[in-house]
Amino acid sequence: MNIGQSINKKLTLQIIMFSTLVTLFVTAFQLYSDFLVARESIEVSQKYIFTSYKDALEESIWVLNSELIESQINGIISIPDISYVRIEIEGGKHWERGEPKDEHILEQTLNLEYSYINQKAIYLGRLIVQSDLWVIYNSLIDKALIILLSNGFKTFIVAAFIIYLVNTLVTKPLNQMSAYFKQYRFKHDNPPMVIDRKAANDDEIDFMINIVNRMCSELSQSYGTVIESQRQLAQALTDKQLLLEQEIKFKEDLELMVQERTKELEATLLELQDTQATMIESEKMASLGNLVAGIAHEINTPLGISITSSSFASTEINQIMKDFEEGKLESSTFSESMKSISQSFEILNTNLQRAAILVSSFKQIAVDQTDESSCQFFIKEHVDKLVVSLSHELRKYGVSVKVNCCEGLQIESYSGAYIQVFTNLITNSLKHGFEDWQLEKTITISIVQQQNDLVIDYQDTGRGVPESVRGKVFEPFVTTKRGTGGTGLGANIIYNIVSQKLQGKIECLYDLEQGAHFLLTIPLNPLSVSHTPHEIHG
């Protein structure tokens, strides 16, 4: 490769490209500036015409002196920057000079009016003046050609001079250095590099020549060392090969030992797996009590509502007292405030009761399920209160709850256990059945007494139980929400409460085209069930 030609070509191309870009940019900027100046000059000329000819034209049009108007319009068109003039007056009559255009023009219009002394001006017509911008364009084109030609010539001269300097000072020495390296033979004695230059220069080329000569001398001296290193490396490779063969033999012996040990470990592993299965089941059931104790933080919601209701009632009472002391208290205001306070206390009472029930139920479930004493309660009333407590979450998902139960159905059992069962069922429906669900959102709870059993039929219209978890819904840690907050223990808690606390059974049915379906059958002591006579048909 000829280094000189390559560098010269690249340098020439880059100089020409850079100079061309700079020339084009400067020329464009200069032409644009000239265009703005010329345009401003035309606008000044047009405004000067309006100022100079306005009064005279208005007088001539008012007296309708056509000869004078013709003389004035000829005077306007004779101005160099004006290419077209038109005067229009009322009645459709007009005078014009020049050729009108629609494009590349600068046009201004002046309304002509005549007024008596201290009287309203009368509209006479208008003066239209056009200037052809092509006059400016042609001038700028001629100027651009001159600038480009002169700059192109200058660029050529400068590029030629730079190329000459580079060829003399750089490329020729580089070509000689390239020829020296082509003839260089590593295994032979080589003469030092000498560059034919017209004058000795203490510059980068001379420095490079000295560095190259010193490097070649050092390489020649190091060649013998490299040969010796190669011999030593070959010996080391031979020794490494012997070590490798010994290592392979050791690994083969070790593999036999591993196989024997593996057989022993497999037998031990089978025993460990059996033991582990038993321990996992025991650990899951034991950790369930700790989990239930940990979720007592759910009481934050009723306590927060209670605090809000209490604060609201306190504020209303303070406002009533203030209005009473200031004599501003009105009967209607007092009545509305008392209603609000009454509602706040009802909400406060309901949520405090719910908090107490949650604390009691969670504590009893986690510590000792047999310690909670049973009581008599109306099952429908309990469920209705729970629905009210969960109204915020139900509204969040847009879900309605229908409770079909006799108003007077009263049982004696563990009310906290029922609250926990219904809470988990509804929560599971919201999170697993109705999240991002666009179809019908309804939960139906039907509660009836069949002989000595309480039968609870729970259905929702959500997406139902996925195929992947059917048959293992009540197993611990089974969830479709892993990674997004699901623990897989909600259904397992329901199962444990129903089967252990309430001594009943729960089934997950798959008889619906859409939604989840659970059937709970809980035995009741016949003496613990009663009906309020006037509510039996409810």
DSSP of 5-35: HHHHHHHHHHHHHHHHHHHHHHHHHHHHHHH
Residues 6+ apart with CB under 8 A from 410: 376, 377, 378, 379, 529, 530, 531, 532
Domain 372-523 belongs to what topology? Heat Shock Protein 90 (3.30.565)
Q: What local confidence, expressed as pLDDT, does residue 294 receive?
A: 36
DSSP 359: H
Look-up: residue for tokens 């006799």? 406
- Supply the DSSP string of 148-180, one letter for each residue: HHHHHHHHHHHHHHHHHHHIIIIIHHHHHHHHH
Q: What is the mean pLDDT of residues 106-132?
A: 83
**Integer Cα distance of 71 and 294 in angstroms:** 105
Nearest to 429 by CA among 421, 268, 171: 421
pLDDT tens-place string over residues 217-230: 777 777 767 777 88
- Under DSSP, is residue 517 helix (H, G, I), strand (E, B) or coil? strand
**Integer Cα distance of 528 and 453 in angstroms:** 11
Q: What local confidence, expressed as pLDDT, does residue 159 receive?
A: 78
Work out whether the CA dihedral 495, 499, 500, 501 comes out positive or negative.
Answer: positive
Residues 6+ apart with CB under 8 A from 352: 302, 306
Q: What is the mean pLDDT of residues 430-459?
A: 90
Pick 39-135's CATH classification: 2.30.30, 3.30.450, 3.40.50, 2.60.40. 3.30.450
pLDDT tens-place string over residues 6-20: 666 777 788 778 878
C-alpha Rg value of the chain to the nearest Å: 52
Domain ranges of the chain: 5-35+141-179, 39-135, 372-523
Q: What local confidence, expressed as pLDDT, does residue 458 receive?
A: 94
pLDDT exceeds 90 at position 28: no
CA atoms within 13 A on the CB side of 266: 6
**Integer Cα distance of 532 and 103 in angstroms:** 97
Query: Is the pLDDT higher at 354 or at 509?
Result: 509
Structural tokens at position 450: 């069949």
Q: From residue 411, how far is each of 415, 452, 454, 526, 527 by CA, in Å? A: 9, 11, 9, 9, 9
Structural tokens at position 44: 């000044």
Torsion of the alpha carbons at 211, 217, 220 and 226, rounded to the nearest 10: -60
Look-up: residue for tokens 């009581």? 375
> Per residue, what are the HEC states of 69-121?
HHHHHHHHHCCCCCCEEEEEECCCCEEEEECCCCCCEEEEEEEEEECCCCCCC
pLDDT tens-place string over residues 444-453: 999 999 988 9
pLDDT tens-place string over residues 362-408: 554 444 334 456 788 899 988 888 888 788 788 889 999 999 999 88
Q: What local confidence, expressed as pLDDT, does residue 531 receive?
A: 44
Average pLDDT score, the chain: 78
